[in-house]
Amino acid sequence: MPLRRVKFFTGLFARADDWEAAHDSHVERQRLHNRTMHSPGVVEGLDVTYDKGGLAVKVAKGHAIAPNGREIWLEADASVDVPFASAGHRLFLTLRSKDAEYDWRTDSANTGYSGNARIEETPVLSFEIDEPPADDGALVLAQINLTKGTSRIAQESGPGDNRIDTRAVRRAGSRGISAGLEIELPAVAEADSQQVNPSTADPGYEAAASWPAGKDEGAFHLAFVHPVAGEDGEVSWRFGALRNDGRVEYKLFIRNHGSESLHVRFRVYRLRSGSALLP
């Protein structure tokens, strides 16, 4: 789509479509910036929690950038009923933006010149059975694997049936930031192919790596963990810290949610104050 804008001149008789074209030019440039310079996802807020005794979920107010470049603002907390009629499916809680016209103006002398004078970009929350495609303009805020016969969701969140699972929520960011991680941040733990056995009991995490705190006790850590190429499966991970004899040791724990052993690749980075990701 070419970038165009309206050129006004003295004597131009501006019509409604001229003003709309001028407005659309600014809107499309902003959305183009969001699509090309930012990765889509949650900017702030929009946490999903248990509500109404397990009959609904609550979405906290917040701000997000959609895959199509739209900015979505949820001005107040919202409750969304869980569609238990769809039990037996994995449900996706999605957030979209929809244009809604308002502020009707009536020209009593010529009703053909009447219409809405404002547009509100309205956030729309809904549960869907199918995961929306990447170009749909929707963000997934949570998933619930709703089993047949279920009438309430569990209060506990995380992986598992009938629970609010937010592990796959995307966070908005700047495109290209990951390129600096390999260069600026040395890995404190890494593996290209480490076997992780299936979990047999909760919490089901097994230690995959450990490293000393050194002078960076209390440092933030960032991990990238995924199955190696050619192997399908789902994993989750968490950090732990052990203090012994005045020294602190950090650990990376990984859980295999499948029924077969899986090989994973991981990198763990220590983020120090003053790095590219911390103030």
Q: How many CB atoms lie within 10 A of CB 142?
A: 24
Asked whether 146 and 162 are in contact (CB, 8 A), the reply is yes
- pLDDT at 8 exceeding the cut of 50: yes
Domain boundaries, the chain: 40-169, 179-271
Looking at this protein, which amino acid is placed at residue 249?
A: E
* Lowest-confidence segment of 102-111, 144-153, 177-186 by average pLDDT: 177-186
Task: Compute the distance between CA of residue 249 and CA of residue 189 in angstroms, rounded to an integer.
Answer: 12
For residue 12, give the amino acid letter. L
Residue 92 has pLDDT above 90, yes or no: yes
Look up the pTM and report it: 0.61
Residue with more model confidence, 42 or 214: 42
Question: What pLDDT score does 134 carry?
Answer: 74
pLDDT of residue 179: 40
Least trusted range by pLDDT, from 36-40, 63-67, 231-235: 231-235
Identify the pLDDT of residue 193.
Answer: 84
- pLDDT class for 185, splitting at 50, 70, 90? low
Res 274: pLDDT: 47
Statement: residue 184 has pLDDT above 50:
no
pLDDT for residue 125 is more than 70: yes
Residue 165 CA neighbour count, 13 Å, CB half: 15
Determine the pLDDT at residue 123. Answer: 95
Average per-residue pLDDT in the chain?
84
More confident residue, 175 or 53: 53
More confident residue, 125 or 263: 125
Per the CB < 8 A criterion, the answer to whether 171 and 63 are in contact is no
Residue type, 88: G
Range scoring the smallest mean pLDDT among 65-69, 114-118, 210-214: 210-214
Strand pairing class (220-227; 262-271):
antiparallel
